[in-house]
Structure 1
């Protein structure tokens, strides 16, 4: 069994959540990376240390898995390790695995659309779990997955950047209708914000050459998306806190 050193934080990774903690080998296999990569990220401070259990075995949880997925996505976008370190340091320290999955979905949105056509079996592999027929129908209803009408059998079109977030939503106790309504609200307000910001930036660079405008767009997009995401997360937490206090 592989051992790992790290800070003992008392409660084991996954304890109290009904989920089994992962060894470093299991974490690497689930994330699709090598054990050496996991340890390297740990030494660079990109991953928090594992919880040390009996026999000095390091235990990892869903937060490590979600952070690994985010790091890999940032690397796919061409960011260096130094840039990734800066990016991760700017994130709030108390992000949940769902928050990290949302961050990854946002990062994936920086890249051009990359819709893939996959079989049901390949969809299971990308989702990291076996999807029942009901799960697939919920993903279709949310607009995360589309059935490929040009193919025979169970073939789907999917944006990998949205899939993990959609899979996370499968465990949220909301009906597909409620999730779709929430999606429509987000799209409406996101489009309004994008329109206002686009007008603001357009006025700011109206007298500059096209290359300068293109450069500004490339630099501003991730910063604006990060700012919108952080503001939204804080606002939502405040709204939910007020709602729970009233309840």
Structure 2
């Protein structure tokens, strides 16, 4: 996946701090209606209110420019919302560009809208409302109302449905996945800390020089597939060891009987 490292329009660094919503929309090249819609989704921080008039500053310009750029590249508003949710509300255009570039390789897949009945049919099991409740608690699914569900990680859920199709009870799989998620979180922290200690900290200590940005972004982009390959290789080795031990124990029990 290519990561854009271009800085946003210098207008994002305009010294003007007091723009009305009409002036903000004109400066960035979007409609007032879009500005209000993005604000309603939480993509923009609240304006500074003077009486009944809201005034916008450079941080709003920077965010709108980034939203416009990401929409042009094919990102959905949901994906943009996830990208901006962890960015400081007053971040400058340069900070937002760096924030976006660092997170781009790690953005989750687009959510999928479905129903409990559809999930049960795909798994080949009867519909079980309690299983949906567990999926919600696990953070894999969100309720939208009218029986609709938003699946936050369709690939992970599809893998789970395939396991259920092999005859594993959904409750048992969810319990196992809860433990797996804890271990995966620890693995992720290990790799991220490695990156911080060996690359990011030196980059920041050097003043985040522009000439070092490409190398940092290349490292971030390549870290995900390399880390995934390492984890998968280690998992296969450990899985083979555990299966062999389980088979040996089962055969020993059969012989004893």
TM-score class, shorter-chain normalisation, is 0.3 to 0.5
Which has more radius of gyration?
Answer: 2
> When the two structures are superposed, what TM-score results if normalisation uses the length of structure 2?
0.43
Higher helix share: 2
> When the two structures are superposed, what TM-score results if normalisation uses the length of structure 1?
0.45
